[in-house]
């Protein structure tokens, strides 16, 4: 039982870090956890979705911090500028795409910097990431 708890904590940590500006591979960790049957698929899904969503929300918080700590500075990277323009145009629903590789993490950062409201941001991040992991688990289950 403790081994499964440790494995779930590792899955949570992996998915959290993968959704910050640090590189990571939460999908591989989820597929491995599923293949080892460390927990029921629903528990794996909840664990990885919560970890990844909280990681994205951490990036959102960093963006908010930058907004208030350095109000006269802009996000400098072109990818951040592009994400900020999209956030300003479409708002929190754009965070449904926060699961996408390369653009998802800067999108969360830009959403915080752009002043999106925290609860809608958290909701749309979680929804997008949850759908992605549900599809991944479904695909892995149908293959195995």
CA gap 124, 53 in Å, rounded: 9
pLDDT recorded at residue 130: 96
7-52 pLDDT per residue, tens? 899 999 999 988 876 667 888 889 888 988 889 999 999 999 999 9
Share of the chain above pLDDT 70, in %: 92
37-93 pLDDT per residue, tens? 889 999 999 999 999 999 999 999 999 999 899 876 766 778 777 777 888 899 999
| Domain map (residue ranges) of the chain | 2-143
CA gap 25, 120 in Å, rounded: 26
pTM summary value:
0.87
């Amino acid at each position: 039982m403790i081994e499964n708890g440790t494995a779930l904590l590792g899955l949570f940590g992996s998915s959290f870090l993968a959704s910050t500006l640090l590189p990571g591979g939460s999908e591989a960790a989820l597929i491995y956890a599923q293949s080892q049957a460390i927990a029921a698929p629903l528990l794996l899904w909840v664990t990885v979705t919560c970890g990844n969503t909280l990681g994205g929300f951490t990036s959102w918080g960093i963006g908010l911090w930058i907004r208030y700590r350095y109000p006269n500075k802009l996000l400098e990277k072109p990818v951040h500028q592009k994400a900020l323009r999209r956030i300003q145009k479409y708002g929190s629903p754009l965070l449904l795409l926060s699961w996408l590789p390369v653009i998802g993490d800067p999108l969360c950062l830009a959403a915080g910097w752009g002043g999106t409201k925290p609860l809608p941001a958290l909701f749309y991040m979680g929804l997008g990431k949850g759908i992605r992991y549900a599809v991944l688990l479904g695909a892995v289950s149908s293959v195995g």
